[in-house]
Chains A and B, each alone.
Chain A
Amino acid sequence: MSLLSKTIILMLALLALSSCQGSRKNDSNRFVVLSPELAELIVALGAEDMIVGVTSECDYPVSLRKLTQVGNFGSVDLEKVVSLNPSIVFASALEQESIALNLKKLGLRVESSYPGSLDDMLSEILRIGSLVSREKEAQALYVSLREDIRLIREQATGKPQPKVYLEIYKDPLMSVADQSFVGELLETAGADNIFNKLERDYSRVKAEDVIFLQPDIMICYSQDSLANIKARKGWQNIPALRNGMVFFEDDIHPDLIQRAGPRSIQGLQKLAEIYDLWRQKR
């Protein structure tokens, strides 16, 4: 993220924070947020003090951990949500549909969001911004993120593209498709995701396809160790393994590329750094 946009966001956040003192008492804006990426976004828009409840996965920024928890991502205590008397419940449109439906039946207003692409993410920022009455902040964030993405795209054009394999699960093997949010991030930062088309965004893949497609870089979120990956039968000749181009959660935190939000820019930059490392080694 450029220094300028960082400063703008920081200033906006401070501004928003100072202007919101006392709004906690205002019952018209009480949010319960069930999705960690939406919680992150709402905080970035400067509306943190309107959040009255979260799920246990909402861990960024850490200040969210002090708020009342209404359960976890997959199982929410409906009574607790109702008792917080929220004006809007924010939920993910992925895997929280049935929870959202139940909350709607209880007469609550539920807003679901699950950006499937960077463009979606940008337009969702504007929509969420207006829902939390932070239109100006949302507009500023929209402009700065769009500019950051444009810059990253520009820097990546013309450079050689490494083939990237991202492993999200080991048993069974699962990876991401180009059309997924994560897949788009991988490619926007200047690589070619090895699985162009899968029937779902995040899907089972075959080990023999990974071996056949010869990825130059592997990003491993499947909790496996480097020694074990190197010992997998038939994987020794994969360029990523031969050249020490395997990266783990410590190298690039999954939330930076799996959660659609302001931190996606950091994710894109981290990816670009990894790709540059590969280009230097070539």
Chain B
Amino acid sequence: MASKTLTTWQKAIKPLLLLSGLGVIALYLFWGNPDANIISQVRIPRLALTMLTGISLAAIGSVYQLMLANPLAEPYILGISSGGAFGSILLGSIGLIMLMPFGGFAGAMLTMLLVWKLAQKKGNFDRSRLILAGVIVGMFFASAISLIMYLNKDDTVMILNILMGNLGRIFTISEWHMFLGLSGICILLLVYLYLQSRALDIMSSGDIYATSVGINIHKLRRNIFVTSSLLLGVVVSYAGIIGFIGLITPHISRMLFPGNQKQTFLISSIGGAFFLTAADFLAKHVAIIELPVGVITAAIGCPFFIWLLLRK
């Protein structure tokens, strides 16, 4: 296993990355010398949302890329994020702001079911059809969102916020309790995804082989899609659509520390949390005005990704 032959370089970089991640979190919480009330009531909730979002997106990306044997696979490509955003925007635009996470849920689940059905060919699951179906369904929901935005001028800013990603939501105390409850559920879902790592490793050697060692591949795929849709529904309804984390973090993780899915999953999750925290810190402080965090993740993510590709 490649993971057991870590070079000294890789051994050295691990604690370094961990330390800089913790440094980013410290900066995020204490920058500008805020008082205790602001740290505990504003910054810690925002950090919690940021880390949950980063972990979930990166973890799902790592699972999808392996399961679908497609380096491009991530929640956005599969349309699930747009579906979730549509559900949550729809409820938000009719005034049910408290219920937006459930709209996100419902939207993500519905999209997932639709994409899943479209990806079946004569009763068999077809990987390339899945990506195609995802792109088309995603485009459909994106245009539906544009329509709501056009008809509902009052909500334009709120909708743009969801489309470009925003971690600066203000929680009321009851909303915060609901978020904590949903976070608990998300962590359980993440643990479930983590526990499927070995089965996913085996599945990447081919469906026939996986079936021969006793893995029910249809059931596994279905369970993973349901789990990840639930996770995405929550994340999108709170943080909006944030791209690149789900795509890039698992790739970087595999490039720096090649290994099995268990390791990739863990490193991607932690990396995703740190990466998004750093991006949101920049979004808050790089300009006088707070920038949409999705713009920052794309602006840092792309060049870094290209650099890593060229380095190889």
Q: Which residue of A lies closest to B37 (CB)?
A: A234
Offer 10 A-B interface pairs, CB within 8 angstroms, sorted by A.
A169-B157, A171-B97, A171-B166, A172-B168, A207-B168, A208-B43, A211-B37, A232-B170, A235-B41, A237-B37
Q: What residues on B are CB-neighbors of A73 within 8 Å?
A: 153
A173 and B170 in contact, given A198-B288, A199-B288, A204-B290 (Cβ under 8 angstroms): yes
Max chain B CB contacts within 10 Å: which of A206, A207, A211?
Answer: A207
Whole-angstrom CA separation of A72 from B35 in the bound complex: 46
Query: Within 8 Å of chain A (Cβ to Cβ): is B277?
Result: no
Give 1 or 0 for each of B152-192: 1 = CB within 8 Å of chain A CB: 01000110010000101111111010000000000000000
Whole-angstrom CA separation of A164 from B41 in the bound complex: 22
Whole-angstrom CA separation of A85 from B273 in the bound complex: 60
Q: How many A-B residue pairs have CB under 8 A?
A: 70
Determine how close the nearest CB of chain B comes to the CB of A215; give it in whole angstroms: 15
B positions within 8 Å CB-CB of A:
34-35, 37-38, 40-43, 45, 97, 153, 157-158, 161, 166, 168-174, 176, 284, 287-290
Contact of B170 among A171, A199, A200, A212 (CB under 8 A): A171
Contact of B176 among A173, A208, A211, A233 (CB under 8 A): A233
A182-203 contacts to B, CB under 8 A, are 198-200, 203
Contact of A206 among B153, B171, B290 (CB under 8 A): B290
Determine how close the nearest CB of chain A comes to the CB of B88; give it in whole angstroms: 12
In the complex, how many residues of chain A place their beta carbon closer than 8 angstroms to a beta carbon of chain B? Answer: 26
**Does A232 lie within 8 Å of B289, measured CB to CB?**
no
Top 4 nearest A-B pairs (CB, nearest first) are A234-B41, A231-B172, A233-B41, A208-B42
Query: Within 8 Å of chain B (Cβ to Cβ): is A174?
Result: yes
Determine how close the nearest CB of chain B comes to the CB of A218; give it in whole angstroms: 14
Determine how close the nearest CB of chain A comes to the CB of B183; give it in whole angstroms: 15
Contact of A211 among B38, B45, B153 (CB under 8 A): B38
Whole-angstrom CA separation of A199 from B166 in the bound complex: 19
Determine how close the nearest CB of chain A comes to the CB of B45; give it in whole angstroms: 6
Q: What residues on A are CB-neighbors of B174 within 8 Å?
A: 231
A142-201 contacts to B, CB under 8 A, are 169-174, 198-200
Give 1 or 0 for each of A124-148: 1 = CB within 8 Å of chain B CB: 0000000000000000000000000
Q: Which residue of A lies closest to B289 (CB)?
A: A199
Q: What residues on A are CB-neighbors of B169 within 8 Å?
A: 171
B interface SS class = helix
Query: Within 8 Å of chain B (Cβ to Cβ): is A228?
Result: yes
**Does B173 lie within 8 Å of A231, measured CB to CB?**
yes
A232 and B158 in contact, given A206-B284, A208-B38 (Cβ under 8 angstroms): no
Contact of A234 among B42, B288, B289, B290 (CB under 8 A): B42
Q: What residues on B are CB-neighbors of A203 within 8 Å?
A: 289
**Does A212 lie within 8 Å of B38, measured CB to CB?**
yes
Give 1 or 0 for each of A76-93: 1 = CB within 8 Å of chain B CB: 000000000000000000
Q: What residues on B are CB-neighbors of A208 within 8 Å?
A: 34, 38, 42-43
Q: What residues on B are CB-neighbors of A173 within 8 Å?
A: 168, 170
Whole-angstrom CA separation of A211 from B43 in the bound complex: 12
Q: Which residue of A lies closest to B32 (CB)?
A: A208
Query: Within 8 Å of chain B (Cβ to Cβ): is A74?
Result: yes
**Does A211 lie within 8 Å of B42, measured CB to CB?**
yes
Whole-angstrom CA separation of A237 from B166 in the bound complex: 25
Q: What residues on A are CB-neighbors of B41 within 8 Å?
A: 211, 233-235
Q: What residues on B are CB-neighbors of A74 within 8 Å?
A: 153
Determine how close the nearest CB of chain B comes to the CB of A28; give it in whole angstroms: 35
Determine how close the nearest CB of chain A comes to the CB of B39; give it in whole angstroms: 9
Contact of B157 among A174, A199, A231, A235 (CB under 8 A): A174
Q: What residues on B are CB-neighbors of A228 within 8 Å?
A: 172
**Does A200 lie within 8 Å of B171, measured CB to CB?**
no
Max chain A CB contacts within 10 Å: which of B40, B45, B168, B284?
Answer: B168
Determine how close the nearest CB of chain B comes to the CB of A240; give it in whole angstroms: 15
A35-73 contacts to B, CB under 8 A, are 72-73
Q: What residues on A are CB-neighbors of B35 within 8 Å?
A: 212
Determine how close the nearest CB of chain B comes to the CB of A213; give it in whole angstroms: 11
Determine how close the nearest CB of chain A comes to the CB of B105; give it in whole angstroms: 19
**Does B168 lie within 8 Å of A206, measured CB to CB?**
yes
Whole-angstrom CA separation of A229 from B243 in the bound complex: 31
Q: What residues on B are CB-neighbors of A171 within 8 Å?
A: 97, 157-158, 161, 166, 169-170
Q: Which residue of B lies closest to A57 (CB)?
A: B153
Q: Which residue of B lies closest to A230 (CB)?
A: B172
Determine how close the nearest CB of chain B comes to the CB of A278; give it in whole angstroms: 23
**Does B172 lie within 8 Å of A200, measured CB to CB?**
no
Determine how close the nearest CB of chain A comes to the CB of B30; give it in whole angstroms: 12
Other CB < 8 Å A-B pairs besides A74-B153, A171-B158, 16 of them? A172-B161, A172-B166, A199-B289, A203-B289, A204-B290, A207-B170, A208-B34, A211-B37, A211-B41, A212-B38, A231-B173, A233-B42, A233-B171, A233-B176, A234-B37, A234-B42
